[in-house]
Amino acid sequence: MADFNEIAQGYQSFLQLPVYRDVEAFSFEKLIGDCSDLSILDLACGEGYYSRYFRQHGAARVVGVDISAEMIRLAAAQEHSDPLGIDYRVGDARDVELEERFDIVSGAWLLQYARDRDGLRAMCTTIAQHLKPEGVLVGLNLNPIFSADGMALAKYGHTRTPDHAEEGDAVCWRFYPPQAEPFEIRTYQKSLASYAWAFEHAGLTRPEWVPVSVRPERLAQDGADFWAYFLQHPPIAGLRSRAMC
Ligand SMILES: C[S@@+](CC[C@H](N)C(=O)[O-])C[C@H]1O[C@@H](n2cnc3c(N)ncnc32)[C@H](O)[C@@H]1O
């Protein structure tokens, strides 16, 4: 895994790019839907981008958990300057235990850090243990079936190598933030079957993979040709699942 303590500032700068604001965030916010009055656990909350979004859009309670103390420091600094009542904690999604259950568990860029299906199952077990009976998991992830030219993604702000990965392979992402040095993140390939296996063994329904889309205003501004490669070969995907009854 990348050491997020070292790249936290660069990651924060990356959040300004259209591929984040107008594709990832746009798609994820659509997946989340109305979060009014809901309780949300934001696993792998990073510097708190979505935790703040949830509170600003009516969530009643938000707890953000991340393994990186530096990411949580950045999140807490923003909470300090603009308090929203978000509860941030350092913790590992593979074994964190909170004494409450949530309407939604958010996992935006979490499951791809599991090295194998057992690591995935550990994260999914944490998710299942923190969902209310009717609760849902909403996530963003590397697309497990991506197989295209990962360098052709450079014009959107990041590349990925290798073009095609097998179970357990490291998948490296190089990011080009507007106001910081490029940085790399390493994630791990798991097959669709491994995701399904881990979800079911943890007590979650099989993940429903949801394609991402580009915010219409951004598409109109850049032109459909610009985003065509990204949308034909999406490197990322949304996902949704529920606690199994
Ligand atoms: C790409 S960032 C995403 C942050 C945020 N969700 C967002 O979308 O802006 C991925 C985050 O996952 C965190 N992470 C990786 N493995 C983790 C684990 N086992 N438990 C908790 N957080 C983890 C990293 O520290 C990092 O902050």
Tell me, what CATH number does 130's domain have? 3.40.50.150
Residue 221 within a domain: yes
Ligand 1 atom having least distance to the Cα of 8: 27
What CA–CA distance (Å, rounded) separates 52 from 60? 12
Residue 154 within a domain: no
The list of the chain residues with pLDDT below 70 reads: 1-2
Ligand 1 atom having least distance to the Cα of 113: 16
Residue 152 within a domain: no
pLDDT at 2: 59
Q: Is any atom of ligand 1 closer than 6 Å to the C-beta of 127?
A: no
pLDDT at 217: 96
Residue 85 within a domain: yes
pTM of the prediction?
0.95
Q: Is any atom of ligand 1 closer than 6 Å to the C-beta of 188?
A: no
Where b means 16+ CB within 10 Å and e means fewer, 153-165 reads beebbbbbeeeeb
Contact by Cβ (8 Å): 140, 236? yes
Residue 64 within a domain: yes
162-186 pLDDT, tens digit each:
999 999 999 999 999 888 899 999 9
pLDDT at 3: 75
- 201 Cα–ligand 1 center, Å: 23
How many CB atoms neighbour CB 225 within 10 A? 7
Residue 156 within a domain: no
67-107 pLDDT, tens digit each:
999 999 999 999 999 999 999 999 999 999 999 999 999 99
Give the domain range for residue 101. 4-145+191-242
Residue 170 within a domain: no
Q: What's the structural domain count of the chain?
A: 1
CA 112 to chain centre: 9
H runs (alpha helix) in the chain: 4-14, 18, 26-32, 49-56, 69-81, 117-129, 192-202, 216-222, 224-232
Q: Nearest Cα to 148, choosing from 166, 131, 160?
A: 160
pLDDT at 1: 47
Residue 157 within a domain: no
- 67 Cα–ligand 1 center, Å: 7
- 43 Cα–ligand 1 center, Å: 7
Take residue 156 and report the two structure tokens written for it. Answer: 């959107």
Q: Is any atom of ligand 1 closer than 6 Å to the C-beta of 3?
A: no
pLDDT at 10: 85
pLDDT at 16: 87
